[in-house]
Amino acid sequence: MQTIQKAAVKSLSALYTQPFSDTDFQVNQTKEEFEGDYTVVLFSLLKKTGQAPAALGEQLGNAMVADHPELFTGYNIIKGFLNLNIADSFWLQLLQENYADPKFGIQAFNGKKVMVEYSSPNTNKPLHLGHLRNNFLGWSVAEILKANGYDVFKSCIVNDRGIHICKSMIAWESFAGGATPESTGMKGDHFVGEYYVKFNDAYKAEIKGLVTGGMEEKLAEKEAPIMKSTQAMLLDWEAGKPEVIDLWKKMNNWVYAGFDETYKNIGSDFDKIYYESNTYLLGKKIVAEGLRKGVFVQDEDNSVWIDLTNDGLDRKIVQRKDGTSVYITQDIGLAQQKYEEYGIDQSIYVIGDEQNYHMKVLKLIAEKLELPNAENIFHLSYGMVELPTGKMKSREGTVVDADDLLTEMIKVSGNTTIQKLEETGKLKEFASEELDELYKTIGLGGLKFFLLRVDPKKKMIFNPEESIDVHGFTGPFIQYTHARIKSILRKEPLANETVQHSTLLPLEKELLVSLEQFELVLIQAAKELNPSALAIYIFNLAKSFNSFYTVHSIANAENAEKKQLRLQLAVMVSNVLKTGMRLLGINVPERM
């Protein structure tokens, strides 16, 4: 497309003796129902050229074919669309230059620095299905940006302080009897998460008791003893009370060990981990400065607010009346800290769409405080993952635990893989440890692809069985295609020969057209911060290869040159599939 745009710009400038650029018009792949490979959309050029669509198409089509006979073999015009036929020699040259390059489509460093923040768990519960979409989305966006030449820093903010953390701490003190993850044999984040659920069970029971005794429900929610104890603990924590701090550190360390294990299993990593217990202090300092500058106001009860009604929002509290901070406080501090430490050009926050308002407020506050590069704060908002039964609620213990889900995915993929290997007679080729790794690769690949194939802005319903169907719109389908190609290449070694004169058959050309678009798909995915664009592309590429291979033999090709051409096609497809899946965080097996 870029080559065609340059050619069109050159011909247009010569025809009409005025400057043109590639932003003056669009080039698209020609629709299947029309003859041609690529189409120049003429409508946006009519005013500038002073031509009618048909006349412009004839003039531009003739000029492009005459100026670039090595690229174009002909054209046709349908209404305002100039459909161009691309010479086979162009596609063959593309193949010769790139089929063996495992970095095809990857851009050089562009000098821009970006931070992508994702995961952002609370230390009162383990990671769940919603966290998985967040982690997979953030990690993949970071890798896609890297592939487009950005210097990317992956970060995570751990919400390790606040009233929700104190709830787990109070419940442990009240109900644990000294139990620990070690004494119970439980993973640390699961262990602490159980006490978060226990707190809410006890809280509901106390509210019910107070209401039964004649108290209004709203007042009962405030007066419940376990909640008042939790609020007192938060004050003690901010005051640095030693025994509270010791308990907080102990329970958080249990959770961190659990998080680390989960992150390792799902392939999520970070260049920098921030902790709210540190960033909130900088946030409180910035709030104090903003108060002196008049950005914030203090109410009579000493709480600190910002009035954003003139900006179409609302009043927002940034510090409670007792001096304790809220979520936005640490976010303000972290926004400044990121720029001070890394000098980033853009700060991307991967956060669910239920926080859309919060993120609008954060960006607006940062701009009013004149924090560095505040205008380049960007919220990558994504829809929630729901179950067929509806939304998940962590406080009620109804979430789908990330560890349990991954275990189940590996188990199901193992059963499916064994059945497929038995059908093909390949089961005996794998040692037991190889099979275990294959099950994990397929199970995790199915999970990641299913959660990434949907546009981030859309809500989605997770279906585990559908996600590992090797015949569906799934990661395992692509993994199987890659393994199939590798099997072909093991049987038919590639010779170091140049293919220059072969006439391309329709399915061969279709594959090359798709491969040529890989770079533009990566650019699109980065521009939109949308891994689903890449997921859809590599699925369609895998589907095209399977259609091609069903019709055209490689081992028994018509002649030696055709055989080499198809082997080169197979190598290039396998490289692009592997790169594309890697950018989604998914491994592709050599055998399957």
**Which pTM was predicted?**
0.92
Would the CA dihedral through 278, 279, 283, 289 be positive or negative?
positive
Residues of the chain predicted below pLDDT 50:
391-397
DSSP string covering 224-291 = -HHHHHHHHHHHHHHTT-HHHHHHHHHHHHHHHHHHHHHHHHHT---SEEEEHHHHHHHHHHHHHHHH
On whether both 390 and 411 belong to a single domain, the answer is: no
On whether both 386 and 408 belong to a single domain, the answer is: no
On whether both 493 and 345 belong to a single domain, the answer is: no
The last residue of a domain, from among 340, 364, 396: 396
With respect to residue 588, please indicate whether it lies within any of the assigned structural domains: no
* Euclidean distance between CA atoms 276 and 279, whole angstroms: 5
On whether both 379 and 419 belong to a single domain, the answer is: no
On whether both 15 and 77 belong to a single domain, the answer is: yes
Domain CATH for 392: 3.40.50.620
On whether both 391 and 430 belong to a single domain, the answer is: no
With respect to residue 279, please indicate whether it lies within any of the assigned structural domains: yes
On whether both 188 and 288 belong to a single domain, the answer is: yes
Range of the domain at 479: 404-583
On whether both 258 and 147 belong to a single domain, the answer is: yes
pLDDT tens column, 230-260? 999 999 998 999 999 999 999 999 999 999 9
The last residue of a domain, from among 396, 425, 440: 396
With respect to residue 241, please indicate whether it lies within any of the assigned structural domains: yes
pLDDT of residue 456: 96
Number of domains in the chain: 3
With respect to residue 92, please indicate whether it lies within any of the assigned structural domains: no
pLDDT of residue 416: 81
The last residue of a domain, from among 396, 420, 445: 396
With respect to residue 22, please indicate whether it lies within any of the assigned structural domains: yes
* Euclidean distance between CA atoms 132 and 521, whole angstroms: 24
On whether both 549 and 515 belong to a single domain, the answer is: yes
Domain CATH for 433: 1.10.730.10
Domain CATH for 7: 3.30.1360.70
Separation of CA 313 from chain center? 29
Q: Which residues have a Cβ under 8 Å from the Cβ of 6 and sit 6 or more positions away? A: 22
Structure tokens at 515: 């491969």
With respect to residue 106, please indicate whether it lies within any of the assigned structural domains: no
On whether both 297 and 420 belong to a single domain, the answer is: no
- Amino acid 328 reads I
On whether both 531 and 574 belong to a single domain, the answer is: yes
Strand partners, 298: 304
* Euclidean distance between CA atoms 299 and 315, whole angstroms: 12
Strand partners, 386: 461
Report in angstroms the alpha-carbon separations of 513 from 28, 30, 506, 507: 12, 11, 10, 10
On whether both 320 and 229 belong to a single domain, the answer is: yes
pLDDT of residue 396: 46
The phi, psi pair for 327, rounded to 5°, reads -55, -45
With respect to residue 354, please indicate whether it lies within any of the assigned structural domains: yes
- Amino acid 264 reads K
With respect to residue 267, please indicate whether it lies within any of the assigned structural domains: yes
* Euclidean distance between CA atoms 264 and 10, whole angstroms: 52
